[in-house]
Amino acid sequence: MSGAQPSAAHGALALGLLCSVPAAVPGFVRVAGSSSAAIAALVLVASVSLVVVPTGAWLRRVAQSGAARGDRALAAGAALSALPLALFGGVLKSTTHHRPLGGATFAVAALCLLALCVALSFRVYRGGSESAVNSTWQNLFSLGCGLSLAGTAALGLAGAARPSLVEAAALAGAVAVTALAPVPARLARVGWQVWGAGWVILLACAMASLRSAPVSSTLGSRAPVSFASLSWLGDGS
């Protein structure tokens, strides 16, 4: 039996789905006493997996193959857009009472702003750092991206309750394990098609479960970080 590791996508899919279960525990603890605890657990694992699997897959590929210029531009663009999106999300949350409409508005704005920031990052880093002018602009741009990310973290730490910070830490830990841990041989023997089908079924069941308004409102108020990826599908009242 070969000991070769599976591809980055295969490994991230397998590890990400498994790591999503413990990563959802901090959120589940806060809703365990509700009447729909089993459904809440399903939804939380699905919501967490939407963050853990894609992010872990990207970081795992970077760890295995090295960071290309596109990876650097993508990371810088995401960091640069973080602070304005956090501010916009806060305003939207306080002024929009229809959750699906607010979620759709935020999603469109996030995609547009992220695309602009990534395009700007490609432009800044495209010329390399051979000249002093290019190097200076790239350093200033990187500083701006770092400040945006730091500002977002400061906003989150200032406004978040301790349980939400625990949820965020669990998410970060799951992403790190997905990106860096070797895939056990037993998991590697299961084809990526099986993992992919399982993920699709998990997401479909979670989305169907969100038609229940009590589940959505309970998760939105008690586990906001873990439920964030699917919260826009909840009841709009």
| Residue 181, both tokens | 């841990």
Q: How far apart are CA 48 and CA 51, in angstroms?
A: 5
**Average pLDDT value for the chain:** 82
Q: How far is CA 81 from the centre of its chain?
A: 14
Measuring CA to CA, which residue among 108, 88, 101, 100 is closest to residue 155? 88
- The domains of the chain are located at 8-233
Q: How far apart are CA 37 and CA 60, in angstroms?
A: 33
226 with 43: CB under 8 angstroms?
no
**Residue 237, pLDDT score:** 42
Tens digit of each residue's pLDDT (9 = 90 or more) over 40-90: 999 999 999 999 999 999 888 888 877 677 778 888 888 898 888 888 877
Query: Percent of the chain scored above 70 by pLDDT?
Result: 84
**Residue 142, pLDDT score:** 86
Q: pTM for the whole thing?
A: 0.74
Higher pLDDT, 193 or 90: 193
**Residue 114, pLDDT score:** 87
User: What's the Cα-to-Cα distance from 82 to each of 36, 75, 128, 149, 229, rounded to whole Å?
Assistant: 34, 11, 24, 6, 16
**Residue 223, pLDDT score:** 84
**Residue 6, pLDDT score:** 65
**Residue 210, pLDDT score:** 82
Q: How far apart are CA 66 and CA 73, in angstroms?
A: 14
26 with 226: CB under 8 angstroms?
yes
**Residue 87, pLDDT score:** 84
pLDDT at 174 over 90: yes
List alpha helices for the chain, DSSP H. 8-23, 25-29, 37-65, 69-95, 99-126, 132-159, 162-180, 185-188, 192-209, 213-222
**Residue 234, pLDDT score:** 56
DSSP per-residue string spanning 67-126: --HHHHHHHHHHHHHHHHHHHHHHHHHHH---HHHHHHHHHHHHHHHHHHHHHHHHHHHH
Residue 9, SS3 per DSSP? helix
Tens digit of each residue's pLDDT (9 = 90 or more) over 104-161: 677 788 889 989 998 898 888 776 555 555 678 888 888 898 898 888 878 776 765 5
